[in-house]
Amino acid sequence: MKEKHIAYKRAVNYYETDRMGIVHHSNYIRYFEEARLLMLQELVMDYAQMEKMGIIIPVTFAECQYLLPLRFGDEIIIDTYMTKYDGIKMEVDYRIYRKDSDVLCTTGRTGHCFLDEDLKPIRMKRKFPELYGKLKNLIEHVEKETK
């Protein structure tokens, strides 16, 4: 069976740390974006391509729990799952691990909607049925997996 989530590998950059010596908490929100856009690219469609088709997917909420700090030099893995999708809204969950251990460092979630270029909601099922199907496919897998 085809993989339905991604495990995004990344190193912590020096400029992402702050004077506490750890990754500044705002940067995790950027890590989540990188992971989410990679998930779309690998499993659905390139987001740059979606924008060309007139679809934008802004963030409606973001949350992050900081369990253990990340530092410069850390190699990390961001497990990324779509957890809700109904054709109008979606939610994505993130879990960050250091590559060399199974210890969970960070958890997070972002919420999104689908808008056209006039910032009006798009009914994905009607307007982009193929894309809708691909997105729906991701969430159905997770639903089955967690039963």
| Catalytic residue set | 18
What is the distance, to the nearest Å, from the Cα of residue 42 to the centroid of all Cα atoms in its chain? 12
Q: Which stretch binds a second copy (CB under 8 A): 41-49, 90-98, 122-130, 132-140?
A: 41-49
HSE-up of 15 (CA within 13 Å, CB side)? Answer: 0
**Euclidean distance between CA atoms 37 and 48, whole angstroms:** 9
Q: Counting contacts by CB under 8 A, is residue 22 touching a second copy?
A: yes
SS3 state of residue 73: coil
Q: Tokens in use for 67? A: 């369990």
Q: Counting contacts by CB under 8 A, is residue 14 touching a second copy?
A: yes
Parallel, antiparallel, or unpaired for β 59-66 and 89-98? Answer: unpaired
Binder of a second copy out of 1, 2, 3, 61 (CB under 8 A)? 61
Binder of a second copy out of 4, 42, 44, 72 (CB under 8 A)? 72
Contact residues for a second copy (CB under 8 A)? 13-15, 17-22, 24-27, 29-30, 33-34, 37, 46-48, 56, 58-66, 69, 71-73
